[in-house]
């Protein structure tokens, strides 16, 4: 059985945090709610925030969750690496505002796949284009 990589209290303290949730091309601006941890792993729910340019999903009440063996986290994200269930929760005001700004610039006539590609460009720039310390990587 895996163990959390960080103090459980710091994970639970994220409850109420503003975030961008990403799964299978869908970006959701939300607040984390009902963060629960136990011997198995972590579970949470999302409270979506209506945001211009982002789809407003009809989420059923329920939890996103993953066991500790398939959970990765840092100060900037949480991630599930479980086979077939990959999601990311991104934190950080600068990233959240960049996604919101880019989404608001996109035409509503843009195909969903093209919209996703444009938002992934922001994601790559802010998360995969930076080192683990959050500083921009040398290119």
Q: Quick one: pLDDT at residue 78?
A: 94
Contact 66, 85 (CB under 8 A): yes
Average the pLDDT over 3-24 and give the result: 84
Q: Quick one: pLDDT at residue 139?
A: 35
**Residue keyed to tokens 């195909």:** 111
Average the pLDDT over 110-121 and give the result: 90
Q: What is the largest CA-CA distance in the chain?
A: 47
Question: Is the pTM here over 0.85, yes or no?
Answer: no
Summarize pLDDT for 35-93 with one digit per residue, the tens.
999 989 999 999 999 999 887 777 666 678 899 999 999 888 999 987 767 899 999 99
Residue 132 sits at the vertex; the CA angle it makes with 130 and 137, to the nearest 5 degrees, is: 30
Contact 35, 14 (CB under 8 A): yes
CA atoms of 57 and 55, how far apart (whole Å): 6
For the chain, the average pLDDT equals 83
Tokens read off for 23:
């799964």
Look at strands 26-37 and 41-48 and give their pairing: antiparallel
Domain ranges of the chain: 8-128
Within 8 A by CB and 6+ apart from 106, the residues are 53, 115, 118
Q: Distance from CA of residue 130 to its chain's centroid?
A: 16
CA dist 57 → 23, 42, 53 (Å): 12, 22, 12
């Amino acid at each position: 059985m895996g163990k959390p990589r960080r103090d459980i209290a710091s994970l639970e303290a994220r409850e109420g945090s503003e975030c961008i949730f990403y799964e299978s091309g869908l970006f959701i601006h939300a607040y984390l709610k009902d963060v629960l941890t136990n011997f198995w792993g972590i579970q949470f729910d999302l409270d979506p925030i209506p945001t211009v340019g982002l789809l407003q999903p009809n989420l059923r009440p329920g939890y996103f969750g993953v066991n500790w063996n398939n959970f990765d986290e840092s100060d900037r994200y949480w991630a599930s690496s479980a086979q077939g269930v990959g999601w990311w929760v991104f934190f950080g005001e600068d990233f959240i505002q960049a996604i919101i700004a880019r989404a608001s610039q996109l035409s509503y006539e843009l195909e969903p796949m093209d919209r996703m590609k444009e938002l992934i460009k922001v994601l790559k720039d802010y998360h995969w284009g930076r080192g683990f310390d959050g500083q921009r990587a040398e290119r």
